[in-house]
Structure 1
Amino acid sequence: LSDVQVIVLTEYPGQAPQVVEDQVTYPLTTAMLAVPYAETVRGYSFFGLSFVYIIFEDGTDIYWARSRVLEYLSYVTDRLPPGVNPSLGPDATGVGWVYQYVLRSDRHNLAELRSIQDWFLRYELTSVDGVSEVASIGGFVKQYQVEVDPNKLLIYDIPLNRIKTAIQRSNNDVGGRVVEMAETEYMVRGLGYIESVEDLENVPLGVDGFGTPVLLHQVARVTTGPELRRGLAEWDGEGEIVGGIIVMRYGENAMEVIRNVEEKLESLKSGLPEGVEIITAYDRSSLIERAIDNLSDKLLVESLIVALVCIIFLIHFRSALVVILTLPISVLAAFLVMSWQGINANIMSLGGIAIAIGTLVDAAIVMIENTHKHMERDRGKKDHWRIVLDATKEVGPSLFYSLLIITLSFAPIFALQAQEGRLFKPLAFTKTYTMAAAALLAITFVPVVTGYLVRGRLLPERRN
């Protein structure tokens, strides 16, 4: 139901919302106003973050829209502060949050659970068909923290920017081509990636006045700790937890995506550390199944009531059977067209069938009743099939056009646009398809089946 939208996310660490607004959000929003078929551009500025939402006209292909936004981003990049690089959000909608899980363990802390989520589960789940993004929530993101002592910097006469440069240059592998020895080539590598706190503590910053190297641990305290958090995740009031949110790709089927995610999670459990368990926190498929099951039950009950009423008032089971058969055939015809058109079985599409149930049997009831009248009057005088034909010719055209008018009654709904159209069009489609099938059955299927089933002893109207 969401609009076609593209989100531009930009990080500007440490900056106040007003600075983010002036230097990032405003240049981006003004540039996005020129994107073709963009209806609305909204900008939001937060501490260190900028969000720009570009809402496109209904019916615009989302991937065409994303490519146009990327094209216009290339024009505005030079107007942004150095080091600020905007990126596109996931190719999803505002209702793409379809599944959420949490990690729980009595042997691992929140930082370890977050590392499992970020470096193992997230990448595996991103590869699942239909998944646009796997967002991590809760826990602590592990990082190396360097707490500089300004007094020691003053003693050694080392500026603060030299520490940043030294750490960046020391966290790097370098290549030295190859060395050939005994007809064998050996690659020469300089291994320089930081792998522990000790590696970071021994990063050289320079030399003092006596030529002695000055290392990082002499002017700063190096530790591991959590990254600054702006929120947390809690589980049933028991305390903090780590979790992941599955965001479905635009246009995918939620049930299939959730099924694929659950299968993937089941296969990944064997690779988790001992004591770590995955618990489902939110599963939209249960909501979808309950809604469809509820509506399906109501459809079944409604069909049974219609069939019971027909049997009671016609007092002829085979005549009632003709009426009852039109219900599943009409619904099946609607389902075939829905499948061909790609309309999912949801609350609105099934609701259109529910609305049409009572009307589907109108033509069949009138046709059966008229056939009864003709048989009461002309039985023994005319051939059986001639009686059925005369009864059909008498009311068939009227029944067909009356159902056709009901079929077209929902035509104005197809003129609805945007969210209203996306909400009600599935209902209008299924209602139209079901009634159109009933109109065709009234002049084709019903007369033929009536000729075969409506035979034998029939009660006259005065005795019914």
Structure 2
Amino acid sequence: MIPAIIDFSLKNRLFVLLIAIGLFGWGVYAVQENPIDAIPDLSENQVIVFTEWMGRSPQVIEDQITYPLVSNLQGIPQVKDIRASSMFGMSFVYIIFDDETDIYWARTRVLERLNYAQRLLPEGITPTLGPDGTGVGHVFWYTLDAGKMDLGEQRALQDWYIKLALQTVPGVAEVASFGGFEKQYQLVIDPLKLQFYNLSLMDVMNKVKANNNDVGGRKFEMSDMAYIIRGLGYVKNKQDLENIAIANNKGIPVRVKDIGTVQMGGDLRLGIFDENGEGEAVGGIVVMRYGENADKVIAAVKTKMEEVERGLPEGVKFNIAYDRSSLIEAAIYTIKVKLLEEIIVVCIIVIIFLMHWRSALSIILQIPITIALSFLLLNAFGISSNIMSLTGIALAIGVIVDNGIIMSENAYRRLSEWQNNPKHQKS
């Protein structure tokens, strides 16, 4: 078969040349479409299930949340392993799928099982799926430079403005907030007053929850006009919470302010985020979606941050804490330079040793065509352009050149034998 291919190629040189040019153009397009990252993604194909039940001990979390979830998530198709960990107030379950499994198909199957398993969990507990990112998906970190704003206001700005804007960037799976204080209304209850009014903490919790809500009514028509009746009950300030009625004592309403005090404060923190030893800071971590181009995602995030920064309060701006694009660009630039240097050196050596421009040209042209075609395979197998893959291509240049030299030398030897054959000399 190989002699037939060689014979066909020699008789149809223009056709072979057009195919080579077409494949080279396709390879150049593949180079532009190939995802770029600094390091290869070797993380496992996993789906994370996160469940929160604050205030419970790790043993309670293990018995009532983690164990029921793990036992019911077993049996999902293409699952390789299931791991879990329980800690104070939180449960994490890691479902590891086979490498060839589509991540979004896997997430769908896990969600189906969670809908069934939730009936086994305590009332009001809802497990959620983690972001569709990987172990190397943390591509960008930023902090807020807002010296005149306290940590609670910075965290509110991050959670309710910046985070929501950055999550709209294509390729971003999640923007995780860190640092500062999460604002909340805190009710400090006096136990002696609870005892005096014969109330329990559950009574207070239920009444506050019931009163912090809007209620719907019906449509009321009067004078050919229709009015929608509804009750406004959402809490807007501390005074609204203080005036919520908890019970009735001899015809006199017992309000929240009668049994305790209401204050603005921060949620419980198990740690702080310190920036370069200069004090606490508030910021976010941008998590890239599975299989995205890290360089393009980071560029899009930076463009969005420029738009968001125009709407920030005066004196507030972004500080970049970690930017993988600088590592990506440095790594890709280094590999490109080394590739170019290697190609030039190889070309010079080929020309010097062969001393025949047509043979040298045929070998030299193989290098860019083969490199371009290699990106077709990278895209086909879902491999990004990173230090490992580009280094492999650089090392393969020597094999490409060796193959060309061997073929040229073999062709010259065959031609020499043919010319020195007496039969051919007579003819």
State the TM-score, normalizing by the size of structure 1.
0.76
**Which residue in the other structure is 1:344 paired with?**
384
**Which residue in the other structure is 1:147 paired with?**
188
SS at match of 1:229: coil
Q: What's the offset of the Cα at 1:147?
A: 0.3
Q: Report the residue type matching 1:326 in the other structure.
A: Q
**Which residue in the other structure is 2:78 paired with?**
37
Match of 1:138 among 176, 179, 190: 179
Match of 2:374 among 309, 313, 334: 334
1:370-389 equivalences under 5 Å are none
Q: Distance in 2 between matches of 1:373 and 1:41?
A: 62
**Which residue in the other structure is 2:32 paired with?**
none
Q: Distance in 1 between matches of 2:395 and 2:174?
A: 38
Q: What's the offset of the Cα at 1:181?
A: 3.0
Q: Distance in 2 between matches of 1:117 and 1:366?
A: 63
1:78-227 equivalences under 5 Å are 78-209=119-250, 211-227=251-267
SS at match of 1:361: helix
Aligned length: 381
**Which residue in the other structure is 1:306 paired with?**
346
**Which residue in the other structure is 1:22 paired with?**
63
**Which residue in the other structure is 1:397 paired with?**
none
**Which residue in the other structure is 2:327 paired with?**
287
Q: What's the offset of the Cα at 1:329?
A: 2.6
Q: Which range moves more in the overlay, 341-350 or 35-44?
A: 341-350
**Which residue in the other structure is 1:427 paired with?**
none
Q: Which range moves more in the overlay, 235-244 or 289-298?
A: 289-298
SS at match of 1:281: strand
What does the per-residue CA deviation read over 1:382-414, in whole Å, with 9 as the maximum and x for residues that have no partner? xxxx99xxxxxxxxxxxxxxxxxxxxxxxxxxx
Q: CA, structure 1 residues 50+341, in 2 after alignment: closer, same or farther (shift >3 Å)?
A: closer
Match of 1:257 among 278, 281, 297: 297
Q: Report the residue type matching 1:284 in the other structure.
A: R
Q: Report the residue type matching 1:347 in the other structure.
A: I
Q: Report the residue type matching 1:144 in the other structure.
A: Y
Q: Report the residue type matching 2:375 in the other structure.
A: F
Q: Distance in 1 between matches of 2:321 and 2:66?
A: 34
Q: What's the offset of the Cα at 1:80?
A: 1.7
* Counterpart check, 1:353 vs 2:388: no
SS at match of 2:385: coil
Unpaired runs of 5+ residues, structure 1, are 380-385, 388-464
Structure index of larger Rg: 1
Q: Distance in 2 between matches of 1:13 and 1:183?
A: 52
Match of 2:337 among 293, 297, 302: 297
Q: CA, structure 1 residues 216+35, in 2 after alignment: closer, same or farther (shift >3 Å)?
A: same
Q: Report the residue type matching 2:152 in the other structure.
A: A
1:386-397 equivalences under 5 Å are none
Q: CA, structure 1 residues 375+17, in 2 after alignment: closer, same or farther (shift >3 Å)?
A: closer
**Which residue in the other structure is 1:48 paired with?**
89
Q: CA, structure 1 residues 157+342, in 2 after alignment: closer, same or farther (shift >3 Å)?
A: closer
Q: CA, structure 1 residues 73+368, in 2 after alignment: closer, same or farther (shift >3 Å)?
A: closer
* Counterpart check, 1:266 vs 2:306: yes
Q: Report the residue type matching 1:310 in the other structure.
A: V
Alignment root-mean-square deviation, CA: 2.5
Q: Distance in 1 between matches of 2:382 and 2:46?
A: 22
1:232-243 equivalences under 5 Å are 232-243=272-283
Q: CA, structure 1 residues 341+36, in 2 after alignment: closer, same or farther (shift >3 Å)?
A: closer
Q: What's the offset of the Cα at 1:320?
A: 3.9
Unpaired runs of 5+ residues, structure 2, are 1-41
**Which residue in the other structure is 1:408 paired with?**
none
**Which residue in the other structure is 1:66 paired with?**
107
SS at match of 2:218: strand
Q: Which range moves more in the overlay, 155-164 or 263-272?
A: 155-164
Q: What's the offset of the Cα at 1:378?
A: 10
Q: What's the offset of the Cα at 1:307?
A: 1.9
Q: Report the residue type matching 1:227 in the other structure.
A: D
Q: Which range moves more in the overlay, 149-158 or 132-141?
A: 149-158
Q: What's the offset of the Cα at 1:179?
A: 2.7
